[in-house]
Amino acid sequence: MSSVPQTVVRDEFEAVDLGSASHGDVARKLTIFERIYEMDSVRKFSILLLLMVAWEMYTRVSGVSELILPKFSDTAAALYSAVAGEQLLIMVWNSMTILVTGYAIGLAIATVLTTAATMTRFGSDVLSTLTAMLNPLPAIALLPMALLWFGLGSESIVFTLLHSVIWPVALNAHTGFMGVSETQRMVGRNYSLKGIVYVVKLLIPAAFPSILMGLKIGWAFAWRTLIAAELVFGGSISDTEGEQAGGLGWFVFANQMDMQIPHVFAGLFTVILVGVFVENIIFTNIEMRTVRRWGMQSS
């Protein structure tokens, strides 16, 4: 019986000092400062500016050695001079040519693999075994073998790039295709789509979010692999004029070796710029025109 709760009667009391209710400003005009501060880009831009100022102040005040952390202004000057005078643009171009070549060939091979995998169960098994094995293998680890097989040249880098692109793209495309709902497949068959037309008009659009994801991961891996490969062996890739121009990674590495630290930072900035350009302009645009417009993915 002890588990029955007792009824508690609280003492009565009178609240004396309530004061009158008051609202705050329910609606008021924002000041100009607040309105500017509401803009997303302004806030982000001012954070960037703040970081730069902090960097500049820190290097000036603490007197850090130029070799450890150069001033921001020096870095900017180095970037300008590298772009204007010293082949930086040519190096970016060299890097991008190799990257695009590797990426394109990789996509083609991935397409063939995925097609085989979608058509037959045997192909699907081969693909899943290969990706399970080779996807966790960092492409850069193959570089020593590639150098042995293809010599010191852009072929070796293209080979490693292929490896870094094929597996994520094929894996994602295949999972995308497998995930296309039976209803959509039947609609396609009802329209009597078959073979290539069926793939292009039905499977690819239906699996596009996943394919795009694969393309993005492939790009990220390829970009990282390329920079790493160039850091190591970039100087050995002769450019078309026969001069040793190398790529962007080589620019960073060579300048570090020469203790030109502002130039190292300038190289890093360029790497960031290229990356931001590809990710935020190219891929975002593709996304806007496809998966978002088709309503397959929100924001």
Partner 1 sequence: MSKNVPELVMRPEFEAGDIQDAHTGDVERQLSIFERVWNINGVRKIVILFGLVATWQIYTVALDVEPLMFPSFTLAAERMLNDLFYGDLIWKIWFSVKVLLYGYGMGMGIAAVLVLWATASRLGSDFIATATAMFNPLPAIAMLPLAMLWFGLGTASLIFVLVHSVLWAVALNTHSGFKNVSQTLRMIGENYGLRGVPFVWKVLVPAAFPSILSGMKVGWAFAWRTLIGAELVFGASSGSGGLGWYIFESSQNIETEGVFAGLFMVILIGIVVENIVFRNVELKTVNRWGMQR
Binding residues for partner 1 (CB under 8 A): 40, 43-44, 47-48, 67-68, 122, 125-126, 128-129, 132-145, 147-149, 217, 220-221, 223-225, 227-228, 231-232, 249, 252-253, 256, 261, 264-265, 267-268, 271-272, 274-276, 278-280
Q: At closest approach, how far in Å is the CB of 228 from partner 1?
A: 4
User: In sequence order, what DSSP letters do the residues of 5-39 get, joined into one string?
Assistant: PPP-PPPP-------------SS-PPPHHHHHHT-
With respect to partner 1, which residue has the nearer C-beta, 59 or 199? 59
Cα–Cα distances (Å) from 106 to 30, 113, 205, 285, in that order, read: 54, 11, 21, 22
With respect to partner 1, which residue has the nearer C-beta, 199 or 266? 266
Q: At closest approach, how far in Å is the CB of 153 from partner 1?
A: 16
With respect to partner 1, which residue has the nearer C-beta, 39 or 197? 39
With respect to partner 1, which residue has the nearer C-beta, 186 or 276? 276
Please say whether the beta carbons of 234 and 249 come within 8 A: yes
With respect to partner 1, which residue has the nearer C-beta, 90 or 134? 134
- Burial letters 221-256, b for 16+ CB under 10 A, else e: bbbebbbbbbbbbbbbbebeeeeebbbbbbbbbbbe
CB atoms within 10 A of CB 81: 14
With respect to partner 1, which residue has the nearer C-beta, 129 or 244? 129
Q: At closest approach, how far in Å is the CB of 283 from partner 1?
A: 11
Please say whether the beta carbons of 102 and 161 come within 8 A: yes
With respect to partner 1, which residue has the nearer C-beta, 83 or 278? 278
The Cα–Cα gap between 149 and 293 comes to 45
- Kindly state the tokens that stand for 167: 């597996």
Q: At closest approach, how far in Å is the CB of 272 from partner 1?
A: 5
- Kindly state the tokens that stand for 89: 């643009």
Q: At closest approach, how far in Å is the CB of 132 from partner 1?
A: 7
The Cα–Cα gap between 165 and 240 comes to 25
Span between the terminal Cα atoms of the chain, in Å: 60
With respect to partner 1, which residue has the nearer C-beta, 158 or 231? 231
Q: At closest approach, how far in Å is the CB of 139 from partner 1?
A: 8
The Cα–Cα gap between 298 and 278 comes to 21
What kind and span of H or E run contains 116? helix 88-119
Q: At closest approach, how far in Å is the CB of 7 from partner 1?
A: 27
